[in-house]
Chain A
Amino acid sequence: MLNFIDTVGEAVAGIKDGATVMIGGFGNAGQPFELIDALLECGATDLTVVNNNAGQGDQGLALLIKEGRVKKMICSFPRQSDSWHFDAKYKAGQIELELVPQGNLAERIRAAGAGIGGFFTPTGYGTMLAEGKETRFLDGKWQVFETPIHADVALIKALTADGKGNLVYRKTARNFGPIMAAAAKHSIVQVSEIVPTGGLDPEVVVTPGIYVNSIVKVA
């Protein structure tokens, strides 16, 4: 069921304590700052957050971590020059980290949305990130079994939505948006523009509206 919602606050109001929340973005590109600010405001805590990074600077995901709302991060690249809020929580033992190679992170998210129960991948074989995981020799190489990552909610930034919830993105801000929209039970998308049904060329739609539940326009 697709809903067009007036404010980011209403859009995130249903997110509960303990939820697993996928947040789109690679660094700041595609990060849905307005939705994250609203999530911070609504007070949900004990969250497991799935994102490529663990926040940078003093905005968005970094603030959610700073305020202690995030119990666990599932990401590929938490440590950056300006990831001080994550760094402090991690060193204090106040946040759990599941570190996942970036392509495995993407494919595990994709698998969840595609109904795949798991897959074997060569990435990470023989490294500490594959310790304890099932391995098989397939297709001429050793591969590691990886499982899907599901989520209760995805927060995504796209450029334009039409009346059916079809989405297009902008440049490298697309990144995790399409696969997270499919993987989460409930996808909340902030867009810069909403056009009438028929206003997007079906040939250029990136995320079909079937994956989208809530759309909110932000300035």
Chain B
Amino acid sequence: MSIPTNDQASVRTIQTSETPLGRDDLARLVAKDITPGSFVNLGIGQPTLVSNYLQPEQNVTLHTENGMLGMGPEATGDQIDGDLINAGKIPVTELPGASYFHHADSFAIMRGGHLDICVLGAFQVSATGDLANWHTGAPDAIPAVGGAMDLATGAKDVFVMMTLLTRDGASKLVETCTYPLTGIGCVTRVYTDKAVFLTGPDGVQVRETFGCTLEELQDMVPVPLRAASADGS
């Protein structure tokens, strides 16, 4: 999906909610934005919630990097099978038409550009779409990367879901990431509790805001923002 160019004449009113969005509302919004028929990988944590809101008529196929397409909802009760887990090692189910494959094939699916969308969490996203989501860089932290770099590099579109601000009130949308990078220029959209941002080489556009105006949002975020054109879906 290309980032639309800004056309001031067609800027729409972008505040679409009186209040910031909760995690489930945000997951519902991401789910609604996924193009029907897409192959999608949902990262561990908040992105996993998106699967709760995908509609059957969207015909979305979920990929899990540990070797499966056609992943179903989390397993419960008798469905739990230790041989059938997702990337977060949570027991899941298989849907009709599911397939299994080994790890090299699974990552060829990503790296080869076959996956339409991945949804990831983040520590920071830069104005040009750099992603930092795997390591705080703290000297005593044990680094663990998993499939984060492969997903960030391989999927056609990388959506990030995160709160806009840290607990200390600092923006996670930044001019330049200070945490170690996961990928360069890979993020295309950032879904936060306060706004949806479109990122790309031309800077950051705001598709919609929740519980704040664009001006109020700009006061929270240290990168220049502009409203997305009306066709920027």
Chain A residues within CB distance 8 Å of chain B: 26-30, 52, 76-80, 86-87, 90-91, 97, 99-107, 109-110, 121-129, 169-179, 206
A106 touches B83 (CB 8 A): no
A52 to B87, CA, bound (A): 11
> Is the Cβ of A173 less than 8 Å from the Cβ of B102?
no
**A to B contact number (C-beta, < 8 Å):** 141
Given contacts A77-B144, A102-B146, A126-B184, contact A109 B104 (CB under 8 A): yes
What's the Cα separation between A29 and B83 when bound, in Å?
5
- Residues of the A chain whose Cβ atoms lie less than 8 Å from the Cβ of B110: 103
- Tell whether B114 is near chain A: CB-to-CB under 8 Å: no
Chain B 81-93 per-residue mask, 1 if CB under 8 angstroms from chain A, else 0:
1111100010000
Main secondary structure of the interface of B (DSSP, over half): loop
Q: A29-B89, A123-B149 are in contact. List 20 more A-B contacts (CB 8 A).
A: A26-B67, A29-B83, A76-B144, A76-B147, A78-B142, A79-B142, A86-B142, A99-B144, A102-B65, A104-B149, A122-B153, A124-B149, A125-B183, A126-B184, A127-B181, A128-B180, A172-B83, A174-B102, A175-B66, A179-B103
Q: Of the candidates A99, A106, A123, A125, which one forms a contact with B103 in the assembled complex, judged by CB atoms under 8 Å apart?
A: A106
In contact, B83 and A121 (Cβ under 8 angstroms): no
B107 at the interface (CB under 8 A from A): yes
- Are B111 and A122 in contact (CB-based, < 8 A)? yes
* Minimum Cβ distance to chain A for residue B120 (Å): 14
Closest residue on chain A to residue B101 by CB atoms: A174
A175 interface neighbour in B102, B111, B135, B146, Cβ under 8 Å: B102
Is the beta-carbon distance between B106 and A171 smaller than 8 angstroms? no
**CB < 8 Å: which of B65, B81, B144, B150 contacts A104?**
B150
Residues of chain A within 8 A of B64, CB atoms compared: 172
Name the one of A28, A101, A176, A206 contacting B149, with C-beta atoms under 8 angstroms: A101
Which listed residue, B85, B94, B106, touches A29 by the CB 8 Å rule? B85
Tell me the chain B residues, 161-194 only, with Cβ under 8 Å from chain A.
180-184
Q: Which residues from 129 to 151 on chain B have a C-beta closer than 8 Å to any C-beta of chain A?
A: 135, 140, 142-150
Tell me, rounded to whole Å, the shortest Cβ–Cβ distance linking A190 to chain B. Answer: 14
